[in-house]
Amino acid sequence: MNDITALILAAGKGTRMKSKLCKVLHTAAGRSLIDYVLDSVQALGAAKIVLVVGHQSQEVITAIELAGVEYAIQEPQLGTGHAVMAARDLLQGSTGHILILCGDIPLIRSETLSRFVECHAANNSGITVMTTIMDDPLGYGRIIRDDYGLIRAIVEEKDATPDQRLVCEINSGIYLVRAELLFSLLDRIGSDNAQHEYYLTDIVREAVCDGMPVHGFLVEDSREVIGINTRSELAKVSTIIWDSVRESLMRSGVTLLDPTTAYVDSRVKIGQDTIIHPNVTISGLSEIGDDCVIESGVYILDSRLGDGVRVLQGSRLDRAEVHDGTSVGPMAHLRPEATIGRNAKIGNFVEVKKSVIGDGSKASHLTYLGDSSIGKNVNIGCGTITCNYDGKKKHRTVIHDRCFVGSDVQFVAPVEVGPGSVIGAGSTITRDVPEKSLAVSRTKQKIYPLRKGQGSTEPDENRES
């Protein structure tokens, strides 16, 4: 079936999250909940995707960077049935089938959705409901079946009788409905219930009243349809995703010294024979090559590392690029647009921002390199600073190949140092330095004798007692 329109319900505030942020924008293992659902729907090959938004609608629309998604506004939010009604204008006249699902079920797999569609088609069903068995069904709508296994009703927790609450088969909130049936059924439901809302589940009751068979599709792994309503559930789902990523990485040849403390997001790529030490977080779209070592306490976000890179303890890389054979850290900070060449060294307490460091260059200690271009085989001495900000604008420092910079040097940008030059320790460089030159900028050392009683522990014989 290639005539599926996906309708994703993402209008709710998520009151139980106790958050100023709407529920579907909360992140699990580094990605928003709605992103996971959109990935699965895209992989299914839905011909059209409609997203129902409400609370913080503009923030949700802005956060989604998927072309072709259409948006319907639900205002106010009066239940799941009301949410589908809000999309009437975008769905009216649709042919085929409408897949309805919520935006807070990040574990749903495209393979499961495909089997769901196949079941719907095989039964030539008007409505198919995805269900699962929960050991503790508290809070979920219960599936009530007849003797033939067809669904007779979906009863919400607050409306269920004591006997119905003993049922462990629950409604996942995922439906497939023939497009021409959907709104004719919705037009017949009301809000006469404990919540005074329009329940989408009531379309099942209306279909049964018309003698229409309603089929169920049972998902064996109930985790796939877990909806996120609390911070606790969010944490559990994040753990499930991280566990899956860890297993996949280890199968592909990555060593995790303590898997339970390696937090690697689902879109991260890591090469063979790379070793990840405990307490490491690798997020976003980061890519790490073969034979790397990532030591403990390291945080890497949206960064690219070549082969044989070592990132030592306590370092942070944020949207940086590090080429083959380079060592970073310990306690180094690579900020956005930092590009480090091959076989280079960025040492302890070195910060690099919006700078290119050439192959074989070294900044080993206590240095800040911002808005700079450093050539190949340059030595940057301890305590060097590029003074890139004049209070209004940022300026660049350019240091060409094979330069040697002594300790405690300040480059007051804009300034350029020619190839092969030497900068004396303790200098403040305010003007360009020609090629193969020695630049020294410091006052002449003077020595004064100390008077008695200054800087000495010897007694002053003339001092009165």
Task: Give the separation between CA 198 and CA 82, rounded to whole angstroms.
Answer: 6
Whether 395 sits among the annotated catalytic residues: the reply is: no
- Is the separation of the CB atoms in 206 and 185 below 8 Å? yes
Would you say 164 is a known binding-site residue?
Answer: no
Would you say 104 is a known binding-site residue?
Answer: yes
Helices 110-122 & 33-44 angle (0-180, nearest 10): 50
DSSP per residue, 9-70: EE----GGG--SS-GGGSEETTEEHHHHHHHHHHHHT-SEEEEEEBTBHHHHHHH---TT-E
Angle (CA) 191 195 198, round 5°: 35
- Is the separation of the CB atoms in 103 and 69 below 8 Å? no
Helices and strands of the chain, counted as H and E runs: 8, 39
Would you say 453 is a known binding-site residue?
Answer: no
Q: SS3 for 84?
A: helix
Task: Give the separation between CA 316 and CA 453, rounded to whole angstroms.
Answer: 49
Would you say 165 is a known binding-site residue?
Answer: no
* CA within 13 Å, CB half, 271: 14
Would you say 445 is a known binding-site residue?
Answer: no
- Is the separation of the CB atoms in 245 and 263 below 8 Å? no
Determine how many CB atoms are found less than 10 A away from the CB of residue 384. Answer: 25
Would you say 111 is a known binding-site residue?
Answer: no
Would you say 23 is a known binding-site residue?
Answer: yes
- Six token digits for residue 347: 């040492």
Task: Give the separation between CA 378 and CA 380, rounded to whole angstroms.
Answer: 6
Would you say 279 is a known binding-site residue?
Answer: no
Would you say 389 is a known binding-site residue?
Answer: yes
Would you say 244 is a known binding-site residue?
Answer: no
Would you say 193 is a known binding-site residue?
Answer: no
Would you say 229 is a known binding-site residue?
Answer: yes
Give me the amino acid identity at 252.
S
Would you say 263 is a known binding-site residue?
Answer: no
- Six token digits for residue 174: 């995922």
User: Comparing C-alpha atoms, which of 17, 38, 50 is closest to residue 106?
Assistant: 38
Give Cα separations from 58 to 5, 48, 91, 221 (angstroms).
Answer: 23, 20, 21, 34
Would you say 70 is a known binding-site residue?
Answer: no
- Is the separation of the CB atoms in 347 and 334 below 8 Å? no
- Six token digits for residue 123: 């039964």
**C-alpha radius of gyration, the chain, whole number:** 32
- Residue 284 phi, psi (nearest 5): 70, -135
Would you say 149 is a known binding-site residue?
Answer: no
- Residue 383 phi, psi (nearest 5): 80, 15
Would you say 12 is a known binding-site residue?
Answer: yes
The catalytically annotated residue of 82, 323, 365, 395 is 365
Would you say 56 is a known binding-site residue?
Answer: no
Would you say 265 is a known binding-site residue?
Answer: no
Which sequence positions are flagged as catalytic?
A: 365
**Where is the binding site for UDP-N-acetyl-alpha-D-glucosamine, in residues?**
9-12, 23, 74, 79-80, 141, 156, 171, 229, 335, 353, 368, 379
**Where is the binding site for Mg(2+), in residues?**
104, 229
**Where is the binding site, in residues?**
9-12, 23, 74, 79-80, 104, 141, 156, 171, 229, 335, 353, 368, 379, 388-389, 407, 425, 442
**Where is the binding site for acetyl-CoA, in residues?**
388-389, 407, 425, 442
